[in-house]
Structure 1
Amino acid sequence: MSKNFRLIVPCLVALCSLHLCAQPRVMGIDELFRLADVNSTSIQAYATGKEAAAEALKAAKAQRLPDISASLSGSYWGDGKLWNRDFGNATHIDMPHWGNNFALEAQQVIYAGGAVNSGIELARLDKQKAELDWEKNRQDVRFQLVGYYLDLYKLNNQAQVLEKNLALALQVIADMQARREQGTALQNDITRYEFQKENLKLQLAKVNDACKIVNHRLVTILHLPEETVVVPDTTLLATEVQTLSENDWQELATQTNIDLRQAATGIETSKQLVKRERSERLPKVSLFAAEHLDGPITIEVPVLDNNFNQWYVGVSVSYNFSSLFKNTRKLKQARLNVRRAQETHGLAQEQVENAVQASYTSLLTAFTELRTQEKNVQLANENYSVTSNRYRNELALLTDMLDAGNTKLSADLALVNARIDLVYHYYQMRYVTHTL
């Protein structure tokens, strides 16, 4: 007995500590977005991608700067030999044994057929792509959070409705037991309502477990303390949902949808790749300057043990004639990629238009469903009240009472779901237009 007691006490303490450590935190959607911007691992990863693309742009711009190099070397020279052309009559040549070489060279590209500018523009477009990827990921994370948040809201409200109906069932059971003592109710009637009570308890337990799962997902994404319990802001459903016309949503999507902006960036990238391929067919012009200090002087025989300094400046012009026949296919491929990018942009426009139309239709359906469910709740409450009074006066059967209770429960849950679905479809509309 003492061993069991020693095992039970720590378990009870642990359970109580877990309960006490839970930290309810009322949060609105705006706060979710703010925390995600700061703490989301996914958003941070794409933000790092933006920084890397910005550095790549700086590196591309640095290609406009001159190339400057310096070299310094020391060497040991062995003695030489001199032969005739038939390798006869060998002569030993004494050589200075220590050699040195210093070179300072600079080169500045004046004209490269637009290759440098194209490289900079491609880097700028890559930076723009990274920014759009970050923004798209940010929208994805926000919409995911909205989904979890509204699921949690829906589950919490379902739990409240179930608790109310459970309390109502307990009250009915108590009334039946009182009537049974008076001989006006049967034990079988009480048993059937006890069965409904147990079903309500089971549903409530499932809803509470689902709340824990969704809450854990929110806490994980936002990197909040594990014991945090997210409590949705109850004023959310009281906020009036103001929506635009379908044409206004379509116009907004053409301006703000990130998929369209990414497709447009793809067109610009393909055009720059065409320019870069064209630059291969153009001459390259550059200025250069150099200074050398070498020793010994080996162009004289015998070798002079002296240092020789020389400098020079000049202009270099080069042309790759092989590009005339090697780059033809690459240039054609680049032009086809431009056409493909334009077609992809057109496809993206169609997809966005369809998504906006579908989301707008769903939003209107959500408004209609909400009005219908509000009326259904009113009718279900009236029906339950009438049936309850009739049952108390022994003018209705227990089955009528059970049906009225189930109808009321279904109507209450459907109304909560309809209100939350309306908010969800509104945020879905904003997600499709990428204005979250």
Structure 2
Amino acid sequence: MSKLFLFIAMLCVSLCTVCVHAQNTGRRVVTIEEMFSIADRNAKALRPYSTMIEEATQNVKIAKSARLPDMDVSISASFLGNGILLDRDFSNSTKAPMPHFGNNFALEVSQVIYAGGVVNSGIEIGKLQEKMAGLSLENERDKLRFMLVGYYLDLFKQKNLLRVYEQNIEQTRQVLADIRAKHTEGVALGNDVTRYELQLSNLELARTQIRNSVAILNNNLVTILGLPEETYVEPDTTLVSRFMPINDAEHWTGRALRHSLPLQQSFLTVEMNKQQERVTRSDLLPKVAFFASNHFDGPITIEVPPIDKNFNYWYVGVGIKYNIASLYKSNKSLKHSRLTTRRALQQYDDTKEQTELAVKADYIRYTEAHEQLNAQIKNVELANQNYTIVNNRYKNDMALITDMLDASAAKLSAEQQLVNARINIIFHYYKLLYVSGTL
């Protein structure tokens, strides 16, 4: 009997452990900061941009390799046929025997000394592209974070709204039960029963829609964050009690001008166009290179009859090359490069202006959200006062139960709007961080 009891106890403990583990893995409270950290590690949308950085880094290495010397090695073996000697009028042909085995070995080395800055500009363009790839990753990461904040706060709102509807449904059922009882006693009309049944049906339908919205938002978060499918994200309820700094519009504008990712990308585009302009201008300059070569050939066929020996010779020198056609061709390309740089500067100015406008607009919405919060705090106070008055009247039989339930519904609605007002402040604060490039 003791062994059976011990086995049952161990089985119960195991089942409880499994249940607790399932509960822990099912629902998970996630803060916004933790959500950002998980997204940085798991989000598939960021992986191509990480690869883009590696690709750009490799392009810089390729551009730097242009500074290294070029080395060409060639080796060959050939069969030489006999030659024929002819007079100038193609008469008196004479067979000229030749050694039939030919060999060639050549080693050539060249090093660019000056190329008009095209090598350095190519390296600088590669470095700028590497920075651009890094900014693209940061920009995509901020977009993803802002989208996740939207999902997260919407989930917070929907869960809060769901609690309000469930409480209203429960209260409506109580009212409906009371009216049905009164209808049975002949005190209430059947139309009152129908009206409250319709109200209950509408509330239950709205609750189903809210539950579906919660499921969709949770699925979006779980999928993007790479969490297990059975995970249910619970927003951090302490978020609404955090203090969100207001500062002033100039603070946020200055922050955006220093950190805005689109603005930095636009500036890098200007710099890359300037470097490309230098590359185009290099066509107008001469190219200077050092070269060295060694040849080992045989037989010597420039003599008649040929000399069946190997001949080795080498040379070193400095060469200057200049494309004269660039004087009347490159000027058009250079003008095109200058126009491209001018357009990039104009786009930078426009991006700067749009950034300032966006920051100012979002700052106004942010301060508006604080004003809405103050109004909702006042509404909650009024709703609580109204609920207290109606409750006292109901206890003294001076008010109907419908008055009591209306006051309770108004109190719940005001509290729900207060939480939503706090969430709106959080949303607009994170939007300001996003626009200013500091998310």
How does the TM-score come out when normalised to structure 1?
A: 0.90
Provide structure 1 residue ranges, at least 5 long, that are not aligned to the other structure: 1-18
Letter in structure 1 aligned against 2:124: E
Correspondence for 1:223 among 209, 217, 226? 226
- In structure 2, what is the equivalent of residue 121 of structure 1? 124
- In structure 2, what is the equivalent of residue 13 of structure 1? none
- In structure 2, what is the equivalent of residue 205 of structure 1? 208
Q: SS at the partner of 2:108?
A: strand
- In structure 2, what is the equivalent of residue 93 of structure 1? 96
1:20 shift after superposition: 8.1
1:395 shift after superposition: 4.6
Q: Does 1:358 align with 2:327?
A: no
Cα offsets for 1:258-290 (capped at 9, x unmatched): 111111111111111121111111111010001
Letter in structure 1 aligned against 2:213: A
Letter in structure 2 aligned against 1:267: V
Cα offsets for 1:389-414 (capped at 9, x unmatched): 55676655677567546544543432
1:211 shift after superposition: 0.8
Letter in structure 2 aligned against 1:233: D
How does the TM-score come out when normalised to structure 2?
A: 0.89
- In structure 1, what is the equivalent of residue 166 of structure 2? 163
Q: Does 1:284 align with 2:290?
A: no
Cα offsets for 1:103-143 (capped at 9, x unmatched): 11100000111111111111111111111111111111111
Distance (Å, rounded) in 2 between the aligned partners of 1:21 and 1:332: 66
1:296 shift after superposition: 1.3
1:293 shift after superposition: 0.8
- In structure 2, what is the equivalent of residue 144 of structure 1? 147
Cα offsets for 1:204-260 (capped at 9, x unmatched): 111110011111111121122122111111111111112321111111111100111
Correspondence for 2:75 among 57, 72, 76? 72
Identity score, percent: 48
Q: SS at the partner of 1:165?
A: helix
Count of residue correspondences: 419
Distance (Å, rounded) in 2 between the aligned partners of 1:179 and 1:126: 78
1:377 shift after superposition: 2.8
Q: Does 1:336 align with 2:339?
A: yes
Letter in structure 1 aligned against 2:64: K
Letter in structure 2 aligned against 1:239: R
Residue 374 to residue 190, structure 1, CA distance change in 2 (3 Å): farther
Letter in structure 1 aligned against 2:114: Y
Is the contact made by 2:175 and 2:401 (CA closer than 8 Å) also made in structure 1? Answer: no
Is the contact made by 1:158 and 1:416 (CA closer than 8 Å) also made in structure 2? Answer: no
- In structure 2, what is the equivalent of residue 53 of structure 1? 56
Q: Which moved more, 1:385-394 or 1:114-123?
A: 385-394
- In structure 2, what is the equivalent of residue 131 of structure 1? 134
Cα offsets for 1:348-380 (capped at 9, x unmatched): 111010000000000011111111122223323
Letter in structure 2 aligned against 1:99: G
Cα offsets for 1:299-331 (capped at 9, x unmatched): 111112211111110110011111011011111
Aligned CA RMSD, in angstroms, stands at 2.3
Q: SS at the partner of 1:86?
A: coil
Cα offsets for 1:64-109 (capped at 9, x unmatched): 0111111111111122212111111111111222211111110000
Is the contact made by 2:240 and 2:419 (CA closer than 8 Å) also made in structure 1? Answer: no
Q: Does 1:234 align with 2:202?
A: no
Provide structure 2 residue ranges, at least 5 long, that are not aligned to the other structure: 1-21
